[in-house]
Structure formats: structure tokens, C-alpha cells
Amino acid sequence: MIQIEDLHRSFDGVQVLKGVTCEIRKGEILALIGGSGSGKSVILKHVSGLLRPDRGRVLIDGTDITSLRRAELEQMRSRFGFLFQSGALFSSLNVFDNVAFPLREKTKLEEAKIREKVISVLDQVGLKEAEQKYPAQLSGGMIKRTALARALVRTPEIMFFDEPTTGLDPVIAHTILDLIQSLHRRLLFTGIIVTHELARVFGIVERVALLYEGMIRFIGTPTEIMASQDVVVQQFMSGAKGPVKLY
């Protein structure tokens, strides 16, 4: 279980997070939605330990990761998988080596076993035929799928998805979300998805949290958020004009 408690963070004097508090239950996927620049990715980076807060805590199964030392944090991160918005593939490695990288560097598996696991996960994301290609030769959807394969190859307990469908056409975006859903059913990871694709994502998440002005404005099931009478929530869901500030 992930507990975010009173998270505060500012950058160059601008307060981005002003006391974010929420909880992600074991095995559920939470969609984190909010306006551009509202701090959704910043929350993700705090929960994964990439950033340290000015104030507040992030507890993962009771362990406060904001106070862990480097070695302890590295150990904790062995449980994480992270799908970056850009994919963050290593440009000097081909698809196979990108996916094999965490296994080669973080486990003592033999090369034959690594090959077996990598091929299996590439098969799951439909990229078995592209194993020798380099990131520069891949389309946006293939980059996302390779990054997803790399994030999942060590079967993480906790997955972070930073805008997994941004920049993709609707068909590929749908495929990626279907893939996340089917992998979640199989692997039962706990997950946070930062996204703008409200309608599609609501089909695969258990709950939705709306970040507004540095705090969680609403948290509930997709049905509850659709029925909310909060003007900010309503404006965000409909995309119409209203009290929400544009950045």
C-alpha cells in the first residue's frame, strides 16, 4: 500500500505541491488527473523516490521512502517499474538489450534465462520481431511498448505510468491501455497512472484522483467522479469554461 501524506514541494520559489494526501491500496490502479503543469509527474517522482519533498512523507508498506538512504532506496526500487512519458530507452542499446538491461545488471540470472524472459515479455507487448532494432528505428507506440516491457521484465509490485498514451494515435493509445489492463490482471501490481486520457483510462482503473492547485481535490471511483457536483471536477471532466485556471 502507498500512503502519500501532506506532500509539499516547491521549485524556484513556486509551490507546486501544497499538501497532497492520498492512499493507493494494494493491487489497485489509481489514475492521477489534473491540468498541465499541476504537478502530477512531480507526485510520481516523489513516490518513486526520484525527488525528495520539502515536507511530508511517502510510505510504501509502512516504510517512509523520503528518509531512506541511497542503498535502502536502491533496494526499495527493485520493487518498482516506471514507464516514462518519453520511454527513456537507452539509445545505444537495441530493443532486446534495453529490456535485458535490468536483468543483467540487477540479477544473477544466466544469459539463457535472461533471453527466455526477455523474449517472453517482448512477445506479450507484441515486439518479438523488433528485438534487434534500435530506439531511433522505432515508432512512438513501439517505444512505449519497449519501455513497458523493460518496466515489467522484473515483475514489479508497483508500477508508475507517466502519461503512457501521450503523443500516440487513438488506436495505439487504446492498445497500450489494453496491454496495461491485461498485464495488471496477470501480475496484480499496484499502479499509478498519470494521464489526460480520461475516458479510456476510466475503464482500467479502480479509482481516480484529481490534483488541483497543489492538492487532491477529489478522489473516488470513475463513477463517483462522473457524478460529482464539484464545479472544478465538472469543468475538468467536461472541458468547458469554468473556475479552473489555465497554465
Partner 1 sequence: MIREWGAYTLFVLRSLGQMGVFLARVITCGLTPPLKVAWIVRQIWFIGFQSTLVIFLTGAFTGMVLGLQGFYTLNRFGSAALLGPMVALSLIRELGPVLSALMVTGRAGSAMTAEIGIMRSSEQIDAIELMGLNPHRYLVVPRLVAGVIALPLLTSIFDVVGILGGYLMGVKLLSLGRGTYFGEMVNHIDMEDILVGIYKSLFFGLIITWVCSYKGYHAGSGAEGVSKATTQAVVLSSVLVLFWDYIVTSFFF
Instruction: Give the interface with partner 1 as residue ranges (CB under 8 A).
Output: 45, 48, 50, 70, 74-78, 80, 82, 84-86, 88-91, 101-102, 105-106
Say how far apart CA 201 and CA 62 lie, in whole Å: 28
C-beta closer to partner 1: residue 101 or 202: 101
Buried/exposed code over 48-75 (b: 16+ C-beta within 10 A; e: otherwise): bbebebeebbbbbeeeebbebeeeeeee
- For the bound state, the minimum distance from the C-beta of residue 67 to partner 1, rounded and expressed in Å, comes to 17
Say how far apart CA 152 and CA 237 lie, in whole Å: 31
- For the bound state, the minimum distance from the C-beta of residue 69 to partner 1, rounded and expressed in Å, comes to 13
C-beta closer to partner 1: residue 79 or 133: 79
- For the bound state, the minimum distance from the C-beta of residue 163 to partner 1, rounded and expressed in Å, comes to 12
- For the bound state, the minimum distance from the C-beta of residue 146 to partner 1, rounded and expressed in Å, comes to 12
Backbone angles phi, psi at 210, to 5 degrees: -105, 120
C-beta closer to partner 1: residue 91 or 238: 91
C-beta closer to partner 1: residue 90 or 188: 90
Long-range contacts of 232-239 (CB under 8 A, 24+ apart): 236/33, 236/34, 236/35, 236/210, 236/212, 237/198
